[in-house]
Amino acid sequence: SWSLISIEQLTRSDLEELFAAAYRHRSALESGEPCSMSSEAIVATLFMQPSTRTRLSFEAAALRLGGKILSMSDPAASRAGSEWKESLADTARVLNGYADVVVLRHPVVGSAAHYATMSTVPVVNGGDGAGPGSEHPTQTILDLFTIDDLCGSVDGATVCVLGDLSQRCVHSLLAGLSLFSDVTVLAKTEETTRLTERELQRHARHGLKVEYVDDLAEALRRSDIVYACGHEDPTHEIPLDMRLDPRTLRGARPDLRILHPLPRGVELPTSLDGTAHAAYFEQAANGVPVRMAVLERILSSCGSAVA
Ligand code: CP
């Protein structure tokens, strides 16, 4: 059976297969067609950190595929999050008997991989930790799917990444972008949230060009996509020159599209929501068909799918 812990497990052809399945699921959802797959699987969402999009879109995806949900969204109400601090290993041993797939979100880097060592059912990393080694692979699949959808291809895209590069969604995104050809990343970030030298070297080895920029407006003129992501610490004061607004976007190409993993901060004012640049709610909506594609692949790999 197949667990999804890191975006680095995937090849370009894996991503292309997932995109094709997600396009198929999205069309079927839009036209109200019944899902071609009917699964009896129980998907457990074990979230030890807050989430709106990842948890609910996984649950919607599981329900759309005909599966069932076992949800634990208040960690304080479980043994794993209480003062008893039941270990992840023991939690995995218990959930092995309760669910067919586990989606885990956890504040500590490496938790999904650790959980998977004790799990007899497939595990999906719903985001673990922050900083080096942190990952959010399904966010990246839906981000890349959205770029493919908006630009016609990820190949050749120029993506301005705006914000704290130490976040798990950015780590996974850059690793995912490096699977495509001729992608340029223009990074507008603070000194304290740059990539480590090791990360930069790894991306360069995989052919991904990462160029730091000072002038956001100039970077937007060169970009197909701006991926704004704010700061890991919601109390951090985002500098004025790192916020999108109608003035910064004045010189941008008309087809520049703004993505954001959400939730937003001051870097993405609501005044941009009605502009042709805004694509972040489309991106969030893509979470359902993309996670249907991920669950379908997992359930097919462990024989839980009923076609
Ligand atoms: N983008 C994302 O991971 O959102 P949630 O924290 O709401 O799941």
Tell me: pLDDT of 305 over 90: no
One domain for residues 45 and 59: yes
One domain for residues 292 and 280: no
One domain for residues 65 and 120: yes
Tell me: pLDDT of 82 over 70: no
One domain for residues 112 and 225: no
One domain for residues 70 and 27: yes
* Cα atoms found within 13 Å of the Cα of residue 20, Cβ hemisphere only: 7
Q: Average pLDDT in the 273-278 region?
A: 97
Residues having CB within 6 Å of any atom of ligand 1? 51-54, 127, 139, 261-262
134 alpha-carbon distance from chain centroid: 12
| Structural domain for 87, as ranges | 7-130+287-301
User: For residue 301, what pLDDT is reported?
Assistant: 84
Tell me: pLDDT of 208 over 60: yes
Q: Whose CA is nearest to atom 5 of ligand 1?
A: 51
Question: What distance in angstroms lies between residue 307's CA and the mean position of ligand 1's atoms?
Answer: 30
One domain for residues 32 and 154: no
Residue 189 counted as domain residue: yes
Ligand 1 nearest-atom number relative to CA 136:
3
Q: Average pLDDT in the 53-69 region?
A: 96
Q: What is the number of H-type helices and E-type strands within the chain? A: 10, 9
- pTM of the predicted structure, to 2 decimals: 0.95
Picking from 187, 139, 173, 158, the residue whose alpha carbon sits closest to that of residue 255 is 158
Ligand 1 nearest-atom number relative to CA 105:
8
Residue 234 counted as domain residue: yes
DSSP 213-257: -S-HHHHHHH-SEEEEEE-SSTTS---GGGS--TTTTTTS-TT-E
One domain for residues 179 and 109: no
* Cα atoms found within 13 Å of the Cα of residue 76, Cβ hemisphere only: 1
Residue 307 counted as domain residue: no
One domain for residues 126 and 149: no
One domain for residues 159 and 256: yes
Residue 176 counted as domain residue: yes
Residue 92 counted as domain residue: yes
Residue 71 counted as domain residue: yes
One domain for residues 114 and 147: no
Question: Looking at the 3D structure of the chain, how many domains does it have?
Answer: 2
Best of 53, 57, 73 to mutate for ligand 1, by most ligand atoms within 8 A of CB?
53
- Rounded to whole angstroms, the Cα distance separating 233 from 216 reads 21
CATH of the domain at 175: 3.40.50.1370
User: For residue 38, what pLDDT is reported?
Assistant: 65
Exposure of 68 by Cβ count < 10 A (0-12 exposed, 13-18 middle, 19+ buried)?
A: middle
Task: Enter the ipTM.
Answer: 0.99
Mean pLDDT of the chain: 93
One domain for residues 93 and 43: yes
Ligand 1 nearest-atom number relative to CA 49:
6
Tell me: pLDDT of 307 over 50: no
User: For residue 73, what pLDDT is reported?
Assistant: 63
One domain for residues 188 and 256: yes
Beta strands in the chain (DSSP E): 42-47, 68-72, 101-106, 123-128, 158-163, 184-188, 209-212, 225-230, 257-259
